Amino acid sequence: MLLRLPLPRVMLLASRPYSSISRLALPRQQRRSYSASVDSSVEPIRGLELGVAHSKLLLRTVASMRGNAELQAQGVSEGDSKKMNMCQAINDAMRHTLATDDTAVVFGEDVAFGGVFRCSVGLAEEFGNERIFNTPLTEQGIAGFAIGMAAMGHTAVAEIQFADYIFPAFDQIVNEAAKYRYRSGNEFNVGGLTIRAPCAAVGHGGHYHSQSPEAFFAHVPGIKVVVPRSPIQAKGLLLAAIRDPNPTLFFEPKMLYRSAAEQVPTDDYVLPLSKAEIVRPGKDVTVVGYGAQIYALENAIQMIERDMPGVTCELIDLRTILPYDADTVAESVAKTGRLVVAHEAPRTQGFAAELAAEIQERCFLRLESPIERVCGLFVPHPLVFERFYMPCAVRSYEAIRRSLEY
């Protein structure tokens, strides 16, 4: 006999469309609070302009682009440039690949239409539907097909529409792509494989469109994992990933697709994989991150240097998560004696733990304080409570201050 028990109000709400939930469960003045801007008057922000739009790390002018040492080394700093957001820079990288490599193909869910984030817009019209094409909605199939094409000598650039949905392809990536060269004694390889995937928070994605899965793959020998922070970085690192003789996962922080814009060289160039970049030099504490987290760390450093006169913080962008550049971080920590590591993924078993352990082994006698980790909370990525989950500028500020005052 089935009993018909009254459902609690929250369960009744959960059975309704989200728009109905928001109208019933929240007072009118709170309905949009999850996406409202941060109150810049509170401590320790106190009027500081936060976020990517105000970042001093972006090369927004031609002069700043031409002064970049890496672009100078590539011989593209004096050439033509164009203002691009990160989405356009990724599109430009794929266009260069398709124009210079007849074996290159680009595919994924809705890719021929331009992709859900428009990163592949115009490529099918320019290069044809045999090289830019849609796939069925099967991430395992996309990865398996990409591995097969790379094994036959193609340059395969596959897109997983959201990094959250890469897990059905986990077996193909970890047990096939990563081991292909090793298990054949270097007779065969899938070095021409690159998998792109939009990742990380976007402000309203919830737990199925906001995850940062890089640590799952950083445990796997045989692949590379890259996360860019800006348009110039995205173009150069994506071209390097595509041309690298190893299969590479390229995670793109989707929050930056349109919020980050720079003067990007229109010429072809690559930036080094497995090489971290010191984006802001300092002497008192080393602060390490990657992707969109770099901008939260930049704001935290601005607050620290305002509130603690004389203190300077060294900010390092790892860029490549596997294999990562431990040498640059260790050299910095040997100088500063302190380390703070931050990322959006949950703290438990996150990549920050690996970096903290490595630096503790290398720099134990140099450390002046415990290594700090600032990470996402150990919960599914929330929707309305995303602000509490995120390793924001304020949480990063508190960790840096704890390290300095220890």
Instruction: Clarify whether 139 is annotated catalytic.
Output: yes
| Cis peptide bond N-terminal to 380, omega within 30 | no
Q: C-alpha distances in angstroms, 116 versus 104, 270, 335?
A: 21, 26, 45
Q: C-alpha distances in angstroms, 144 versus 150, 168, 190?
A: 10, 11, 11
| Strands of 339-346's sheet in order across | 277-280, 313-317, 285-289, 339-346, 372-376
d(CA 217, CA 231): 24
Catalytic residue among 109, 139, 214, 372: 139
d(CA 293, CA 315): 11
Burial of 7 (0-12, 13-18, 19+ CB in 10 A): exposed
Catalytic residue among 96, 109, 176, 209: 209
CA 249 to chain centre: 11
Closest CA to 353 of 362, 363, 343: 343
Closest CA to 191 of 236, 235, 243: 243
Per 3-state DSSP, the chain is made up of helix, strand and coil in percentages (nearest 5) of 40, 15, 40
d(CA 149, CA 323): 25
In sequence order, the 6+-apart residues with CB closer than 8 A to the CB of 116 are 109, 110, 161
Closest CA to 403 of 286, 279, 302, 300: 286
d(CA 318, CA 228): 9
100-120 b/e (C-beta count within 10 Å ≥ 16 → b): eeeebbbbbbebbebbbbebb
- Which sign, positive or negative, has the C-alpha torsion 312, 256, 210, 198? negative
Closest CA to 170 of 188, 147, 191, 152: 147
d(CA 68, CA 64): 7
Positions marked active-site: 139, 209
